[in-house]
Every structure is written in structure tokens, then in C-alpha cells.
Amino acid sequence: MEFKDMQPATLAAQAGGAIDMQSGGVVPSIQPSTTFARDRDYDPLNAANTYARDHNDVVRQAESVLAQLEGGSEALLFPSGMAAVAALFRTVPNGGRVVVQSGIYWGTTKWIREFCERREVEMCEVDASDAEALAGACAEGAAHLVWIESPSNPWLKTVDIARAAEAAHGAGALLVVDGTAATPVLSKPLEHGADMVMHSATKAINGHSDVLGGVLVTRDGHAVWDEIRNDRASAGAVMGPFEAWLLLRGMRTLPLRVERMCQNAMQVAEFLADHPQVEDVLYPGLKSHAGHELAKVQMQGGFGFLMSFLVKGGREEALKVAGRLNLFHRATSLGGVESLVEHRHTIEPHTGIPENLLRISVGIEDAGDLIADLGQALGQ
């Protein structure tokens, strides 16, 4: 039985079969060398390695596991999620056109807007959770890329990936999905028609808040993919061996961590939804969520670890709740084993985010302890 035919938990735990054959170690090895020797006839001692910028054994091992987890043909690692986003959008020619979901991770929106302005690329922003609105934006003219995020951060909106793919392909565009908040364990956009998937591997894929990384996974090889691969090697947007090794180590527990995080998040969401000091809870696992039925189709094994909730009383009350939390660390990011809370309006006040919104990333702690912490912070 080949690893590609195995379930995600087995594939991840076995690191895709990446045993160190030289030593016999069951843990993949790290080769930190930046250059690789040739023999007296000037042939490489290892035909796969000449220079570390684009030849790195542990990076290739991690990429192989990620491609298999996503059901893709190939993956490319980058030193951050934003480096992966930039590598993709640099394939759009001057004067091109892209369709981008609104209300997504602000760092992505900001970079794409600035890129499009520099390159005179037409950027159409649309609420992609409205399938008809997305189809209309795509129908307005030919495009190069359609970018969506599902579930979205911090609004937790669910996008119909299959319909988005149909709309994108009708405009001659590639559909690329940011699946960071779902991970390859919960959702596989390539199976729903997406052409590529991006993850900030910094988040749940690594899961330990100690590695920056990004990844692109493609369903099939194509000219745009070849351009991205060549640009990465030439421009040097590569991940180092130590970071790749830590990422691979983190991935070995990815399915287990995500399972626990989803279980915790569901209990937390139900508690918050029933709390008198909470105005609303944005989490696709709740039946009251607008994207719940679609999420049930597109997400298997849980609805993720990320959610937002609105505190009654406005900005000051939300900040007080965040300040009273003891187990939820007040810090940016998401997807780690530790639970985090963030007052998004403090981070991005210019985006229209509600001043009473708190975003939480639920970790692997005991759910009862997390709920008790939220309860005392909100006021029982």
C-alpha cells in the first residue's frame, strides 16, 4: 500500500515515509549544507542536489506530504504565507485582471491592492460567499486569477468552491483558495474544482507558533505553476532546512491536533451562542450560521478552530473581556496548540470590522477550562 493511498492521519504521522535511510532513523534528517559536491568528472554526487536555494531534501519531503494531504500533484513551500501569495500574483501580467474576495485576511487584501496599483492590474473585490455576486464579477470580463478564502478570516464566511470554480473558469481564470482556516484535514478545495490551494503554514499546519511558512499546492501542472516554480528558485523565496524540518515535525500531529481543536471549538461556540453577554457568534459549525449547510458539504471532520464573537456593550466591553482572559493569550495569529484572542478592530480599524468583535483561535487545551475562562471573562 502506497502512502498516497493512506488516510491523512497515517500519512502525516509517518511523514510520508520519510525515514533516513542512511542512519535508519525514523525521524527525517536535516542537511544544512548550502552547496553540494561533484565528483572528479564534475558530475553531482547526488543528481537531485547542487545548491540549497532550490535543492533541499527536507523541503521536498514536507512538500510531498502536503501535496498528498491536499490530493494535489505538487506543492511548493515558501518562507511565509505572504511570500506564497506574492509568488502567485506575480504571474499576473501588467494590465491584467483579478477577482478577489472581500472581507478576508487584511494582510492579503492590503498586499494585493498595492500590487495591483503598481502593476496597473484591475482588481475586483466581491463578497464571494454570495455565489451570484461572484459569478457576476467573473462575468464582467476575462481574468487571470480568482482568489477566495473559506472559511474567511475574521468573518468566517463559507464560499461555494465548486460554483466559484465554475465562475472562474468561465472567465478564463484559475481559482485559488486560501484554506488556512480549514487545513487539508478538513477541506480539500482541489476536489471541488479549485486549481490551487494556499496555506499559511505558520498556522495550524505547523501548529506550534514557532515557524513561518507558506505553501501552494496545485491540482495539475500548468504554465502558471511552472512560472511560480522557476520564479521561486530564481528569486530565492525558499524555506530553510531547519524551518522545513520543524514544519514536517509539526505536520506529524496535524490530524490529531485539528480533531481536538474542532471538538473544543464546537463546545466553545455553543457556550458563547447561549451566553447573555454575547451578541452573535460567527462559526460555521453552528446551525444558525449562514454557511453551515455548505460547510457540512465542504468540510469533513469538523468546522475548524477559528471563530469570532460580538460582545454586548461595544469596544470598551470587548477589550475588558479580552483583558480578563487568562488561558487565551492576547496575541496575533491562529492555529497553534495554545488558544489565542485578538481584538481585530485594534489591528485593522480601517476595514469596517466591528469594534466589539473578538476573534479566537481555539487550541488543544481542555474544553471545560477554556469555557470556564470565557465564562469568568464575560461574567457568569
- State the Cα–Cα distance between residues 45 and 93, nearest whole angstrom: 39
> Would you call 53 a catalytic residue per the annotation?
yes
Return d(Cα 56, Cα 30) in angstroms, integer.
9
∠ at Cα 357 (351, 360), nearest 5°? Answer: 110
Residue 117 CB coordination number (10 Å): 10
CB atoms within 10 A of CB 366: 11
SS3 370: helix
Peptide bond into 28 cis (omega under 30): no
Q: In 3D, which of 131, 228, 198, 226 has the Cα closest to residue 170?
A: 131
Contacts 24+ apart (CB under 8 A), 90-96: 90/115, 90/231, 91/144, 91/145, 91/224, 91/227, 91/228, 91/231, 92/119, 92/121, 92/144, 92/145, 93/144, 94/119, 94/120, 94/121, 95/119, 95/120, 95/121, 95/122, 96/121, 96/122, 96/143, 96/144
For residue 218, what are the β-bridge partners? Answer: 74, 196
Question: From the candidates 97, 157, 160, 178, which is the catalytic residue?
Answer: 178
Asked if residue 16 lies in contact with residue 27, where contact means CB atoms within 8 angstroms, the answer is: no
The helix/strand/coil state of 200 is: strand
Q: Which of 105, 160, 232, 373 is labelled catalytic?
A: 105
User: Of 53, 119, 312, 324, which one is the catalytic site residue?
Assistant: 53
Structural element, H or E, at residue 126 = strand 122-126
* Length of the chain, in residues: 380
Assess whether 320 carries a catalytic annotation: no
In a 3-state reduction of DSSP, which class is residue 306? strand
Which position among 203, 260, 344, 359 bears the catalytic label? 203
**Bridging pattern class, strands 174-178 and 196-200:** parallel
Q: Which residue numbers are catalytic?
A: 53, 105, 178, 203
